[in-house]
Amino acid sequence: MSVVIFFKKKFGGSDFCGIFVVLKTTTTMTTTTNTPKSIIKVTEGVMAGDVFYGSFITNIDGKRITVMVSNFLKDTDKEYEFRVAGKCQAGFITIHDTKGTPHSVIAGYKKDALINIQVKENGHWFNVFTTKGGKWYGIDKGFLDVMTVGDMRSSHPKMCDMTIWDFFGAKTWADKAFTQN
């Protein structure tokens, strides 16, 4: 039991005060969960799903760019069947099919050589990486989860955004570029 005096007032020659008697107190418990940081704004409503999973905004050359994010590569350790379109040294576009994990497919390309990557799901090909002029228009969340700062600096220099890396605590080229370090 608690007693609380909520006011004391002098009126004329008399003192008035209000007294509350609290018979029961209620304590509310809160739990704190550590949810991983994300720059991706997840799509909700009718358009939600793996194709239009979400998007993120980045600043490139002083311009705001919205990059669409899909979610076909859910397991970053699984081997998928990919179709990769890239530029050869002479500047021609070459297309080849390969199998690999998301990191083995997205990493290791020369500057701005990758143009498009598709993944085969249930007999259909879906775009999981699209570019134009070295700037991304769409990328899969599985690629974002495995890319390092070194991958970005060597293969995708136009898409480097230090504010995103600071947000995730990236300090070296070996740190992840789009997930918490």
Task: Note down pLDDT in tens along the chain; length 181 residues.
Answer: 555 444 455 545 555 555 545 555 444 444 444 446 788 888 888 888 888 899 999 988 888 999 999 999 999 999 999 999 999 889 899 999 999 999 999 988 888 889 999 999 999 999 999 998 888 999 999 999 999 999 998 888 888 888 888 888 889 989 999 988 8
Residue 134 has a pLDDT of 82
Residue 26 has a pLDDT of 47
Residue 18 has a pLDDT of 52
Cβ atoms < 10 Å from Cβ of 37? 11
* b (16+ CB within 10 A) / e for 19-28: eeeeeeeeee
Residue 68 has a pLDDT of 94
Q: Closest Cα to residue 143, out of 67, 64, 44?
A: 67
Paired with 56 in beta bridges are 67
Is-contact 152 160, C-beta < 8 A? yes
Residue 17 has a pLDDT of 52
pTM to 2 decimals? 0.75
151 Cβ contact list (under 8 Å, min separation 6)? 106, 107, 108, 177
